[in-house]
Amino acid sequence: MIKGAYVHIPFCEHICYYCDFNKYFIKNQPITAYLKALDNEMAEATSHAPFSRPETLFIGGGTPTALDDEAFTFLMNSVHSRLFQEDHTKEFTIEINPENLNASKLEAMKRASVNRLSIGVQTFDDRLLQEIGRKHTRQSAIEAISLAKRYGFDNLSIDLMFGLPGQTKQQLEASLDEILAIQPQHVSIYSLQIEPRTIFYNRLRKGKLTLPGQDIEADMYEYLIDFLGQHGIRQYEISNFAIPGYESQHNLIYWNNEEYYGFGAGAHGYIHGNRVVNARAVKGYMQRIAEQGHARIESHPVTAQEKIEEEMFLGLRKIAGVNKQHFLEKFHHPIDQYYRETIDDLVAKGLLVEKDDWLRLSRQGIFLGNEVFEAFLA
């Protein structure tokens, strides 16, 4: 059963220096035509029987809130009409940037039954915000969050980053203090990754980017895990923290290796056992929708072995880990049949814990997750 739907808006008013997502400057883009194509893609997918409305919806980007008020309202109405169902859709999230949130957009979100906001703050330090190419300030972020609360949004997730150029542990601590003052229900915190096709990648190649060392970054990560946990915001996935009961239901679909739709330019989906990818370019996406009703350019049938591997390395991202009984029910064979030697080796290294029918990362394993995940790949 397809449990979630991701909708991609690939437009931004500016490009952050670290971002490698599928995105384009919004100026002179065919916004109206793109949103109509997106509506047609969702309509085509939902016309196939049997169709079950997804339990979770997530609109990301790009920057969905970079759309003007009229286009944003069209998007809200479109997603609500095509995908939302009262008493079935449990979580409806949209990503927002502080600098382009306003009352009109908040009202449109309320009318469309959005019940969770993911707010891209990244840091509350004004110098670091400039350093990474963000356009908002500490104050505008706080004001946007306050405005969202006034409109009745009581499930807020804040995105933060660490390991930023020139960032100190004290600056991270100051951002976490701001988190306590705001009291969000969820926090996502990612270390800076330098990816190709980004401004930071080009700067790094030219020797013009100074990053904290690995030891400093590890100290930051350890501090934020302990700090948030001590204040009731518990780590439930390598990069995600929540007050119990407010874990991201949409992202749990990914980590539980369950199926989901992907709508929009460059969107990925997992549908009926196939990993699918849409055309990335906006015009190419719209042309495919017009000609065939969908924009898929890749469709990979996931093999039985790949499903098992994905179950392990995605499931172990969760702090709870992988349940052996669930694995047996899903794949009809015990984990030991595939991975007994691997498990024993990782337990001996202190990277994995095996207890009460569960496998999970140890404290050390959380810091060396990639080493653990690779061990489960053929």
pLDDT digits (tens, 9 = 90+) for 146-185: 999 999 999 999 999 999 999 999 999 999 999 999 999 9
**What DSSP line would sit under 218-266, residue for residue?**
HHHHHHHHHHHHHTT-EEEETTEEESTT---HHHHHHHTT-EEEEESTT
Average pLDDT, the chain: 96
- Other CB atoms within 10 Å distance of the CB of residue 214: 9
CATH 2.70.150.10 fits 2-254, yes or no: no
Percentage, residues of the chain above pLDDT 70: 99
Bridge partners, 276 (sequence order): 269, 299
DSSP-assigned letter for residue 297: E
Residue range 182-227, pLDDT digits in tens: 999 999 999 999 999 899 999 999 999 989 989 999 999 999 999 9
User: How many CA atoms lie less than 13 Å away from 114 in the CB half-sphere?
Assistant: 30
pLDDT digits (tens, 9 = 90+) for 20-29: 898 999 999 9
Residue 378, pLDDT above cutoff 90: no
List the one residue out of 177, 97, 103, 157 whose CA is nearest residue 129: 97
| Amino acid, single-letter form, for residue 362 | S
Query: Environment class of residue 238 by beta-carbon count within 10 Å: exposed (0-12), middle (13-18) or buried (19+)?
Result: buried
Question: Pick from 113, 119, 115: which is nearest to 96 by CA?
Answer: 119
More confident residue, 31 or 53: 31
Q: Which helix (H) or strand (E) holds 136?
A: none
What was the pLDDT predicted at 51?
Answer: 72
Domain ranges of the chain: 2-254, 321-375
94 φ, ψ to 5°?
Answer: -135, 140
User: Do the Cβ atoms of 106 and 150 come closer than 8 Å?
Assistant: no
Query: Beta-carbon neighbour count of residue 193 at 10 Å?
Result: 11
pLDDT at residue 47 in the model:
87
Q: 46 Cβ partners below 8 Å, 6+ apart? A: 82, 83
What pLDDT is attached to residue 58? 98
pLDDT digits (tens, 9 = 90+) for 35-72: 999 999 999 998 876 677 899 999 999 999 999 999 99
Estimate the share of the chain in helix, then strand, then coil, as percent rounded to the nearest 5. Answer: 45, 20, 35
**Assessment of whether the complete model's pTM goes beyond 0.85:** yes
